[in-house]
Each structure stands twice: as C-alpha cells, then as structure tokens.
C-alpha cells in the first residue's frame, strides 16, 4: 500500500455531536426508505434501517470525506481517483456466486441478497494500515446470513472474497500495481462473527461506486484493506487464501491484518492514527476498539507472528 498523502481537511469538518445525534435519528427513519425507493422489490423487507447495538457513538466522518478519500486501486492509486473514475463501474445487474466447500452452491442476484436480512445501520470505525481512520454509518446486514444460504461443509475453514474485474471500466487494472482481481480472505469464524457485515449503503443511501457498490465486505476490527469492495464471488476453502496484499508484499501484509498498535508495519508505526477531519493524532486501539467482541477469536494465536 502506498504512503498516504496528507488530506486537506479542517478540524471544523468534524461532525458536531448534536448534529450527529439528530442525523442519526433521521437516518434510522430514512435509511430503509431511500433504499426501498431505489429497490422497490425489497421494500417490504427493509423496515426502518434499524440502528445496531454494535455501533460506536463517536462523531461521523463527513460524507464528503467518506466518498472522496478512498482506496479502490482498480480506479487508480491516488485517494481522489475512485471518486473521479468509479462512476463507470457497472453495478446492474449484479450477482454474487457462493461456491467451494458447500452443500448448495448458489448464484444470487442483488435483489435476492437484500431480501435475506433487514438492513441495519452500523456505525463503525475504519482504520487504514496507512495510518488514517474514519467513522462511517454503513447500511448492511450480517455476512453470516448470506453464507448460511449455501450450507458450508464441515471441511470449510476459510472464506475467500473475489471482487469485480471490469477491464473496460477500471483504468487502474491496466497498470500492474496489484494482482487482479482484488481478493481478500477471512477465517470462517471471523466471517460468521456478528460484527462482520456486507454493506449495501452508507449515510442512508445506496453505496457510492467509489465505496464498493453495490456490495462490499466490512470487517471493523481489521485494517481497512480486508474490507473488499464490489464483491462478486465468495469461495469456501480448507486452506488459508492468499490475498492480494499478501501476494503484493508478504512481509508487510499478513492474512490476519487485525488492527494492532503493538505490531508496527515494517516501514512505519501503527501506534497512532489520524482520524480524517481531526488535527491531532489519537492512539490506535487494539482490534480497532472491538477487543471485547473479538479478542476471544485469537487467544490461541501469537499476534506478532500472525499479523
Ligand atoms: N477493494 C477493492 N476491490 N480494491 C481496493 O483497492 N482497497 C482496500 C479496501 N477494499 C480496495 C478494496 C483498502 S486499502 C481500504 S483502506 C478500503 O477498501 C477503503 O475503503 P473506503 O474507500 O470505502 O474507505
């Protein structure tokens, strides 16, 4: 991953608490309606975009920053490239194939996927390995509800995520910066964890292309790159998948990629982070602040070796 450029964000762009609280109430009411309006078939299932007990109550990063400071290398390596170029991404029709070590492999259309579970608003921290972080109000549903559809076999231990490859819409893939398509992976128990979601929207609206439309993974206790965008295939395996960043630089990016302030990146520290929109750095929290919910998944692991 490349070194970050300094974003030009003023402290005044931080969302004030009162505005955030008001907006959050508004979002709870409006989220389902906005998406339902765009996807009339699933209207009956959506409900009011209910808020989640897993949400943080920290101030939100502004919508402008969430949608204009992105990593989506298929559209270029600069932070502003995805907002500029991803409008070409074809997101309709969209299907996700779920295959591998499963009893019932299936290919599901986006509208059927959205019928599987009600969308919830999940306000999660996202911490990038480059040293910046954001707080994003996602609209999503637990990945577990999607994975259960195919009845995984007992031999399945890992889940691989393969993302879209559209050579004609993605200027970035012509440059050999990464091995395409972009892939990610999780252990099965991480994938089934209630904090792990598939997001179809943010800020009460459908997902902007630059944020991984129409469906992306969000794993809040791991560095941002684990959250693959524009997922088209999910494969159950018995072996640890080799992910895009591991192939690109195995000494820098491990399979687990849990946010861990005690394990530095070989070229820079991971002890602190800069919340986009804030001036001063803050201390990075173990598992990005989600230790109470996820630390038990890793009691057997040496987190320095399995970084
Ligand atoms: N998914 C795809 N397909 N391609 C990418 O380049 N970048 C990752 C991740 N998912 C990436 C991807 C990285 S490095 C980060 S930090 C997050 O997406 C950024 O998500 P955001 O732009 O929505 O904040």
Q: Is residue 223 part of a domain?
A: yes
- For the stretch 245-294, pLDDT in tens is 999 999 999 999 999 999 999 999 999 999 999 999 999 999 999 999 99
187 has which bridge partners?
A: 158
Is 75's pLDDT higher than 90?
yes
Report CA(89)–ligand 1 centroid distance (Å): 15
Query: For residue 226, what are its two tokens?
Result: 């684990």
Instruction: Give the rounded percent of residues in the chain with a pLDDT score beyond 90.
Output: 82
Report CA(152)–ligand 1 centroid distance (Å): 27
Report CA(217)–ligand 1 centroid distance (Å): 10
Predicted local confidence at residue 49, as pLDDT: 55
Report CA(225)–ligand 1 centroid distance (Å): 5
Q: Is residue 31 part of a domain?
A: no
Average pLDDT over residues 88-103: 98
Is 60's pLDDT higher than 60?
yes
Q: Is residue 44 part of a domain?
A: no
Q: Is residue 29 part of a domain?
A: no
What ligand 1 atom has the least distance to the C-alpha of 172? 6
- The answer to whether the CB of 145 falls within 8 A of the CB of 94 is no
Kindly state if the Cβ of 183 falls inside 6 Å of ligand 1: no
CATH number of the domain residue 69 falls in: 3.90.420.10
> pTM higher than 0.75, yes or no?
yes
Kindly state if the Cβ of 72 falls inside 6 Å of ligand 1: yes
Average pLDDT over residues 61-84: 98
201 has which bridge partners?
A: 139, 206
Kindly state if the Cβ of 74 falls inside 6 Å of ligand 1: yes
Residue carrying the six token digits 């109430």: 25
Is 13's pLDDT higher than 90?
no
| Measured distance between the N- and C-terminal CA atoms of the chain, rounded to whole angstroms | 16
* 3-class SS shares of the chain: helix, strand, coil, % to 5: 30, 25, 45
Average pLDDT over residues 122-145: 98
Q: Domain limits at 153?
A: 11-17+50-298
Q: Number of folded domains in the chain?
A: 1
Kindly state if the Cβ of 229 falls inside 6 Å of ligand 1: yes
Kindly state if the Cβ of 69 falls inside 6 Å of ligand 1: no
Predicted local confidence at residue 250, as pLDDT: 95
Predicted local confidence at residue 50, as pLDDT: 63
Instruction: Give the rounded percent of residues in the chain with a pLDDT score beyond 70.
Output: 83
Return the residue whose CA atom lies nearest to atom 8 of ligand 1.
225
Kindly state if the Cβ of 73 falls inside 6 Å of ligand 1: yes
- For 247-256, give one letter per residue: b (16+ CB within 10 A) or e: eeeeeebbbb
Q: How confident is the model at residue 207 (pLDDT cuts 50, 70, 90)?
A: very high
Q: Closest Cα partner for 225 from 214, 233, 215, 217? A: 217
Question: CA–CA distance from 2 to each of 125, 173, 212, 270 (Å)?
Answer: 21, 16, 19, 15
Query: For residue 55, what are its two tokens?
Result: 């949400």
Q: Is residue 286 part of a domain?
A: yes
Q: Is residue 84 part of a domain?
A: yes
Is 45's pLDDT higher than 80?
no
Report CA(132)–ligand 1 centroid distance (Å): 13
The mean predicted confidence, pLDDT, of the chain is: 88
Q: Is residue 267 part of a domain?
A: yes
Q: Is residue 28 part of a domain?
A: no
Cα angle 148, 151, 147 (rounded to 5 degrees) comes to: 30
Kindly state if the Cβ of 228 falls inside 6 Å of ligand 1: yes
Kindly state if the Cβ of 277 falls inside 6 Å of ligand 1: no
């Amino acid at each position: 991953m490349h070194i970050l450029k300094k974003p030009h964000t003023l402290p005044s762009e931080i969302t004030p608490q009162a505005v955030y609280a008001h907006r959050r109430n508004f979002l709870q009411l409006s989220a389902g309606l906005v998406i339902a309006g765009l996807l009339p078939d699933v209207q009956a299932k959506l409900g009011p975009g209910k808020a989640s007990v897993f949400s943080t109550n920290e101030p939100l990063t502004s919508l402008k920053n969430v949608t204009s400071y992105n990593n989506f290398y298929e559209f270029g390596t600069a932070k502003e490239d995805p907002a500029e170029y991803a409008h070409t991404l074809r997101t309709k029709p969209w299907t996700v194939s779920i295959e591998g070590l499963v009893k019932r492999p299936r290919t599901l259309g986006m509208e059927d996927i959205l019928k599987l579970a009600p969308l919830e608003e999940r306000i999660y921290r996202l911490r990038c390995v480059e040293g910046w972080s954001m707080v994003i109000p996602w609209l999503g549903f637990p990945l577990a509800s999607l994975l259960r559809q195919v009845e995984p076999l007992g031999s399945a231990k890992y889940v691989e995520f393969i993302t879209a490859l559209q050579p004609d819409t993605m200027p970035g893939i012509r440059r050999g910066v990464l091995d395409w398509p972009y892939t990610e992976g999780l252990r099965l128990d991480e994938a089934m964890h209630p904090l792990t979601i598939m997001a179809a929207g943010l800020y009460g609206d459908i997902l902007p292309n630059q944020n991984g439309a129409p469906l992306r993974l969000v794993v809040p206790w791991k560095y941002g790159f684990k959250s693959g965008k524009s997922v088209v295939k999910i494969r159950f395996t018995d072996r640890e998948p080799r992910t895009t960043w591991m192939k690109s630089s195995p000494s820098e990016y491990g399979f687990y990629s849990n946010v861990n302030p005690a394990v530095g990146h070989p070229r820079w520290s991971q002890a602190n982070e800069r919340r986009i929109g804030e001036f001063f750095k803050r201390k990075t929290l173990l598992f990005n602040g989600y230790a109470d919910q996820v630390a038990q998944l890793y009691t057997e692991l040496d987190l320095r070796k399995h970084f």
